[in-house]
Amino acid sequence: MHPNLKLLSNSACSTLHGCPRRFELDRMLGGDEEGDVHTNFGHVVGLGVQEMLTHGDYPRTVWEMFKQWRGDDFDPEDGIRIKKTFWWAMEAVARFQRLRNNIFGNMDIATLNGRPATELGFKIDCGDGFYYRGFIDAVLINRMKKQLVVLECKTTKFNKLDEAQWYHSGQALGYSLILDTVIAQEGIEETSSYEVYYPVYKSSEADWECFKFLKNHTRRALWIKNILLDKKHVIEYFNEEYFPLHGEFCYNFFKQCPHFGRCEFDNKLLFNPANVPVKEEARHKFDFHFSLEEIVEQQLLKGA
């Protein structure tokens, strides 16, 4: 099996669940890596939130956002129509101040691995050459409770939100589970559950809404089973030489899949596995490296 097929993440697993064929082609041919106005806007707003939580200096934050904006068009036509230009990103971060003062007033960015815990990277060895990688937007520490808090920043064009959009998110479950292992390594006081905050910026209203969920041991431990099942499915699809194509995902998030029109062709016409470059990831890109066995062991010690 090509090593690229063994690289898992929250977004990769979501793709695997939606359309296994796209999962395969994303890894062998490359996906929609350039992104669009939506991903560009979301990335820069998320960065701005991280910066404001770290030091609270708005001019400095805007400069960091400016450096990370993809492309030289700060007023794209599509962005003007849906309020997702660089200038609206600045406004989003300025309006985040209200949440920062009210909801996160008793919280500071935690220090993990010797640095502020924003874009906290981790890589988990899942065995057989499989790895699960991810980045947590921010880990905060509640000064009153002396507990760690996970923060995941989101943006959407919709003005009506529902907690069900994120309540059972595997992303939040996984991240809170990762913290169990991290705090064991860092010598931080353990906790029985984690608070996960989802500040969501609604671009159509230019306003924020925040959701808070509690992740306990039992629910977090199930995440491990999910990863093992995803790994099992990838192996099964590869052995069958058949990654199922789910047509209901050919048009998703208001655009065509980047592989639409070629996904039905035989792989021999699309790529030669021997010529597909292996995705290399520098070790220093991730703050923490551990195995799935270490995570399981930590959960057993906690009686999960």
162 within domain boundaries:
yes
217 within domain boundaries:
yes
pTM for the predicted model, two decimal places? 0.88
84 within domain boundaries:
no
Which residues span the domain enclosing 148? 3-33+103-301
46 within domain boundaries:
no
Give the pLDDT of residue 243: 97
45 within domain boundaries:
no
Give the model confidence (pLDDT) of 151-172 as tens digits.
999 999 888 999 998 888 777 7
96 within domain boundaries:
no
Total of domains in the chain: 1
62 within domain boundaries:
no
213 within domain boundaries:
yes
CB 290 within 8 A of CB 125: yes
Give the model confidence (pLDDT) of 206-254 as tens digits.
999 999 988 776 666 678 888 999 999 999 999 999 999 999 999 987 7
